Amino acid sequence: MVVRVENLGKVYGRKPALDGVSLAVAPGEIFGLLGQNGAGKTTLVKILLGLVAPTSGQAWLLDSPVGTAKVREKVGYLPEDHRLPEYHTGPNLLDFYGALQGVPGPVRARRIPELLGQLGLAGRERLKVRGYSKGMKQRLGLAQALLAQPRVLFLDEPTDGVDPVGRRHIRDLLLEERAKGVTLFVNSHLLSEMEQLCDRVAILKNGRIALTGTVADLTRQGDRWQLELASGESWPATLNLAAQEIGPSRYELVLAKDGDIDDVLRGLIGSGVKLRHLERMRSTLEDLYLDVAGGGGA
Amino acid sequence: MSQNSWWQRPSVFVAILGDSWRETRDSKVLYVLLGGIVLLLGVVLTARFEPIPGSKQYLQLAARACGVDTDGLDATSLNAMDMAGRLRGALYSLETSETVDDAEDLPGARWRVILRRQGIPLVGGRDTAEQVSERFGKIAEGRLFVVNSIEELEDRTTGLLGIQRWSLLVSAGRDLRVAWPHRMTLFLGVVPLTSDSGAPLGLQIFILYKLLTTGFGAWIMLLVGVVVTSFFVPNMIRKGTLELLLVRPIPRWRLLFYKYLGGLMFALVLLVALVGGAWVATGITAGLWSPTVLWAVPILLLFFGLLYSCSTLVAVITRAPVPAMLMTCLYWVALFIVGILHGQVEISRMESDPANKSQGISLTDLKMNRNGLGPRPRPRQPDRKPLYETTFGQVVESFHAVLPRDRDLDNLMDRQLVKDLALAGPLRDLTSRTGSSAVVGLGITLAHLGGFLFLACWIFSRRDP
């Protein structure tokens, strides 16, 4: 496992931020951490990066205890609300962080223009960071996280402030990194992004893992189907199935098992009804998140 | 890529210094200060030092000193009382003196001198020409004149009376020019800064150095340095910036320590510009090159390092620049006040010391011992306890014992400067009789600096971001 956390707890003063959190992230996986503000997401990431010491429990990164210099060399991190020193130009800033990370000079000289190009920041080499837009700063922040070619990337709101085209760009870049075997640990409030990006997610609530699983499993809603018939058509009475009408010529069915939909289709065609659209219903990550994190209060 | 020792990873040090340098340049204050320094030095370059004719007093002094063993003698003690115990058994005097080839009576001239020795008749030996050549113009460690040629003037009658006479051809020794009175003007002679009688060139250059380097110039430089650098650490440890640094494979204390060194670099650039510029500018205008003034750079850098370590500690605790700036200034003011008060306590002790009374040390002497910066002491009230015996005096001395002493550092600098610039006169006294040791002062300063830095690094390493 790239990330392994066992019964992790953190208390700030008297306020618990994490309470018995356990999870594991496999190599090459994109893992999403969801939760309301104050749920403990950032604290968990900071513990994994060795920035904050846990009060109880243990955590490992790349099979080593978190926080060692050896582990940090293999980690990239983009914090939420990061503030890049504004007196640098983009290439200077990357060179500075690269040197701190231990990236050799020739590698930095090669990687920096490459990354700036990949993130759409080429041609702004002489511009100081204070002249960057929020989206550009976000992309520059991502570039510093990627510079040392890390084995694990921790990203806190990686597409915050980035326009839709830029988001798509970043998402593709992260998927490319995953394809290279990099493991990604992502915190974000953009649930649609997380749904498209992550293999697995966990929802933190009040410092505890409230729900965890693959995105596909968590969003499946059993065998609920929606059908749309040709205009003016109605549900045939001959079919011995209770369909709920949800609109003109639109119906929703709840079936007992997966194969029953074939019987329904045969029945419809046998009745001479023309089918125009059929869709298996899934709930969105947002629905799930609101159910778990939003319900019951903090 | 896995190298853990700092000497194996110089790129980290270079990177953080480079980062500090960019931050410094970005603040623009550096350019404003450098511009101010250039302007100031430009004014210095308009100074003119014009020697005032008149060699008599120096030739007379050189003649008198021939009869005295001045080795190891404090030049301020060249009065009749102090010299009495060092007489070689004869008195020397100047009979006549005149410049050679009708040259103007300035340090560049040569002089024909008739020197007279009055010994005790029929007692003691006679002086040889070699002895006189060696002694004439040598005063303590300095040399006012060198003898180019010497001829004894034979006279049987006076010889029997213990009198010897020589004719000497002398020229300026290495120290004559610094002791010679010069008239100083600014703006190419437009604004006079000395009276018509002038003042010794060494004294003028000493005061100029003091103003530009260890005095007013340094005060301004240190104050601006404290203000500008008080933003460095808080900027580094603010939320959102700190995490990007702490996640790197570098110990936290090293990040902070390197950042501290980056702040020192800012001060170093300014100090090199100011002190180096002052040295060059005065060298060009006065023709007097005293490299010891360059000691002001490490000495002032040490004092700035002390202030900046205090600023760093407060910044790590509060994460804000304004408290760092204010606390550092308060610390500085506290050191200054304790220094002033300690000076008063020291004066009260010296006034009460019977040894000083017997040596005839005056209040002026005592004032000089305190580097001439303190207020003039009031005459002691006979029915009052001396200040050093009061509780207040003891409290002041306790604080003074444990706090860094900026004056000791200042004295250390003066001591070096005086070696170059003051052959004789009260300047030497400024440094030769100072009560406290510069080594102790240095030690306490370094201990405070190290203590502040250690605490700052310790807190920084342990606290959650």
Cα dihedral B75, B78, B84, B89 sign: positive
Considering the domain architecture, whether residues B91 and B157 belong to the same structural domain is answered as yes
From chain B, the residues in CB contact with A141 under 8 A are 244
CB of A218 closer than 8 Å to CB of A198 = no
The answer to whether position B185 is within a domain reads no
The answer to whether position B362 is within a domain reads yes
The residue behind tokens 């060298």 is B283
- Region of residue B5 (phi > 0: left; psi between -120 and 50: alpha; otherwise: beta): beta
Exposure string of B216-229, with b = 16+ CB inside 10 Å and e = fewer, is ebbebbbebbbbbb
From chain B, the residues in CB contact with A75 under 8 A are 247
Question: Which residue of chain B has the CA closest to A73?
Answer: B249
From chain A, the residues in CB contact with B234 under 8 A are none
**Higher per-residue pLDDT: A122 or B464:** A122
- Residue pLDDT, tens place only, B417-456: 777 776 544 444 444 444 456 778 888 999 999 999 999 9
Q: Given a cut of 90, is residue B168 above it in pLDDT?
A: yes
Q: What is the pLDDT at residue A279?
A: 86
- Rounded to two decimals, the pTM is 0.80
Distance CA B308, CA A189 (A): 42
* Overall average pLDDT of the A243-249 stretch: 88
Query: Which of B114, B141, B175 delimits the end of a domain?
Result: B175
Expressed in percent and rounded to 5, the helix, strand and coil fractions of chain B are: 60, 15, 25
CB of B456 closer than 8 Å to CB of B316 = yes
Query: Which of B141, B175, B209 delimits the end of a domain?
Result: B175
Instruction: For residue B102, list its beta bridge partners.
Output: none
The answer to whether position B232 is within a domain reads yes
Q: Do B244 and A70 touch (CB under 8 A)?
A: no
Question: Which residue of chain A has the CA closest to B250?
Answer: A69
How many domains does chain B divide into?
2
Considering the domain architecture, whether residues B130 and B204 belong to the same structural domain is answered as no
Question: Which residue of chain B has the CA closest to A94?
Answer: B15
Considering the domain architecture, whether residues B427 and B392 belong to the same structural domain is answered as yes
With an 8 Å Cβ cutoff, the interface of chain B facing chain A consists of 1-4, 9, 11-12, 14-16, 18-19, 22-23, 25-26, 235, 238-241, 243-251, 464-465
Q: Given a cut of 50, is residue B174 above it in pLDDT?
A: yes
| Chain B closest-CA separation from residue A291 CA (Å) | 31
Candidates B16, B248, B257: best to mutate against A (most CBs of A within 10 A) is: B248
Picking from A46, A82, A102, the nearest residue to B240 by CB comes out as: A82
Considering the domain architecture, whether residues B404 and B293 belong to the same structural domain is answered as yes
From chain A, the residues in CB contact with B246 under 8 A are 49, 51
Distance CA A55, CA A28 (A): 29
The answer to whether position B189 is within a domain reads no
Domain housing B222: 5-47+197-462
Picking from A53, A83, A100, the nearest residue to B241 by CB comes out as: A83
The answer to whether position B183 is within a domain reads no
Considering the domain architecture, whether residues B338 and B453 belong to the same structural domain is answered as yes
* Overall average pLDDT of the B115-144 stretch: 81
Considering the domain architecture, whether residues B151 and B220 belong to the same structural domain is answered as no
Q: Do B23 and A102 touch (CB under 8 A)?
A: no
The answer to whether position B187 is within a domain reads no
Confidence of residue B365 (pLDDT cuts 50, 70, 90): very low
Considering the domain architecture, whether residues B259 and B335 belong to the same structural domain is answered as yes
From chain A, the residues in CB contact with B233 under 8 A are none
Considering the domain architecture, whether residues B378 and B252 belong to the same structural domain is answered as yes
Q: What is the pLDDT at residue B379?
A: 54
Phi (first) and psi of residue A212, to 5 degrees: -150, 150
Distance CA B449, CA B441 (A): 12
- Residue pLDDT, tens place only, B300-355: 999 999 999 999 999 999 999 999 999 999 999 999 899 889 888 888 888 777 65
Considering the domain architecture, whether residues B154 and B221 belong to the same structural domain is answered as no
Q: Given a cut of 80, is residue B273 above it in pLDDT?
A: yes
Q: What is the pLDDT at residue B175?
A: 83
| Nearest in space to B40 (alpha carbons), one of B208, B254, B223, B236 | B208
Candidates A43, A47, A100: best to mutate against B (most CBs of B within 10 A) is: A100
- Cα torsion B21, B27, B33, B36 to 10°: value is 130
Considering the domain architecture, whether residues B237 and B372 belong to the same structural domain is answered as yes
The answer to whether position B145 is within a domain reads yes
Q: What is the pLDDT at residue B243?
A: 94
Distance CA B405, CA B434 (A): 13
Question: Which residue of chain A has the CA closest to B248?
Answer: A101
The answer to whether position B191 is within a domain reads no
ipTM entry: 0.84
Considering the domain architecture, whether residues B419 and B451 belong to the same structural domain is answered as yes
Considering the domain architecture, whether residues B300 and B403 belong to the same structural domain is answered as yes
